[in-house]
Amino acid sequence: MDKILIAGGKRLQGEIVISGAKNAALPIIAASLLTGEEVRLLNVPRLNDISTMCRLMERLGAKIISDGERLSIKNKEVASFEASYDVVKTMRASVLVLGPLIARFGEARISLPGGCAIGARPINLHLMALEKMGAEIRVEHGYVVARAGRLKGARIYLDFPTVTGTENLIMAATIADGTTLIENAACEPEVVDLANLLTGMGARIRGAGSDLIVIEGVDSLKGTEYRIMPDRIEAGTYIVASAITGGDLFLRGCPARYLDAVIIKLREAGVDIAEDGGGLRVRRPKKLKSIDIKTMTYPGFPTDMQAQMMALMTVSSGISIITETIFEKRFSHVAELRRLGADIKIEGNSAMVSGVEALSGANVMASDLRASASLVLAGLRAEGETVISRVYHLDRGYERMAEKLTGVGAKIDRVRGSQ
């Protein structure tokens, strides 16, 4: 398994180009199942989660041509209706094929996602809503088996504004018979990106980005070409990289308008952030102040930035309370940050971070995608060498992270194949 070695203490300076958004690309690739025509995608990030999604699509019968950041997908015929256990267990977002499969082919067999590093993460809301639209759903041998004739539009209230749940439903509703209303829908920008793609394919969707989405079903969808939005979480991670190293980074293509909560909080902490033409310039804070954070659904502070902000707060000048409200077990980075010298206490779903003068390099282990990113950030700041193992988590969601950071002055090496 690969490891990452970081010689900390280097000030980052220069430009990083932000890649396409993983969490927009995944549902968008799944949405291509809704038509037999070609869907061409641009700005697709080259990540392991995207390769996993493409492998799943090929098993379902998709013909995929990939050329750098371009992807062409054609789902003329379907060879299988199954997302098997081995795929779903490596990537929970595989459940995104459920909505399109049941809507277009009337059949789907999806392995139930088990617990994962950040909590239980059930899909009960996805299933409840599809049942309301007329699907018959059974759970057998660890699989959700769904069958339906043409789905029927319905009025659906989500108990929690689940992101992939909202996406599954929007996709299913595009070619259902009649109108579907999704109340308490997720408002995340990636939901809007998916809705924009679907509109380009001929779907009729209103309200994406708000908590009430209305979809009028059409008979069929057609092919299109679509450019995936930039990744707000990748951008947020590099904003913190600049702040934590006292650096000066320009993040080209950074989607500032989707990062309001993160930018406001970082400015409160003293970080100098300026919008500048095609991106954001992030400069060292004179003094890094402690701030409190509570994760929320969009437009609140994203849970996917919680671990990175915690890394920053470990070297702030006071005490910061970080509260996680979306996932119940999302503090696996805490024990590893402590190994680097951080002072963090956990009580329930809150972490109390007392800023320390300095972090010191150590051996640490990555446990999930964003936890891994927080260890890289802390390692960039720490004195001496930090060795991060299990870096495959990073490859799932950050395109060429080590290269991008090396390009702006970090001393970061990837060691292949060692334990």
Q: Give the active site residues.
A: 116
- Strand 13-17 with 385-389, pairing: unpaired
Quick one: 3 or 330, whose CB is closer to ligand UD1? 330
Strand 293-294 to 319-323 pairing: parallel
Nearest distance, CB of residue 391 and ligand UD1, angstroms: 18
- Closest distance to ligand UD1 from the beta carbon of 160 (Å): 5
Which alpha helices (DSSP H) does 73-230 contain, by range? 85-90, 98-105, 124-132, 163-174, 189-200
Number of H helices, E strands in the chain: 14, 24
Residue number, 198 or 288, with CB nearest to ligand UD1: 198
Footprint of ligand UD1 (CB under 6 A): 23, 26, 92-93, 119-126, 160, 162-165, 190, 303-304, 326-327
Residues 6+ apart with CB under 8 A from 198: 31, 34, 170, 171, 174, 205, 221
Comparing C-alpha atoms, which of 198, 204, 206 is closest to residue 223? 198
Toward ligand UD1, which CB reaches closer, 6 or 262? Answer: 262
CB-wise, 163 or 315, nearer to ligand UD1? 163
Query: Residue 141, class by beta-carbon neighbours within 10 Å (0-12 exposed, 13-18 middle, 19+ buried)?
Result: exposed
- Contact residues for 264 (Cβ-Cβ < 8 A; gap 6+): none
Work out how close the CB of 93 gets to ligand UD1 at its nearest, in angstroms, rounded to a whole number.
4
Q: Which is nearer to ligand UD1, 250 or 301 (CB)?
A: 301
Q: Which residue number, 334 or 412, has a Cβ lying nearer to ligand UD1?
A: 334
Give least dist CB 372 to ligand UD1, A: 13
**Residue 117 per-residue DSSP state:** T
315 three-state secondary structure: coil
For the beta sheet containing 319-323, the strands, ordered from the edge strand earlier in sequence to the opposite edge, are: 293-294, 319-323, 350-354, 343-347
Torsion of CA 47, 253, 65, 105, to 10 degrees: 80
How far apart are CB 304 and ligand UD1 at their closest, in Å? 5
| Shortest separation between residue 27's beta carbon and ligand UD1, angstroms | 7
> Among 244, 242, 269, which residue's Cα sits nearest to residue 254?
242
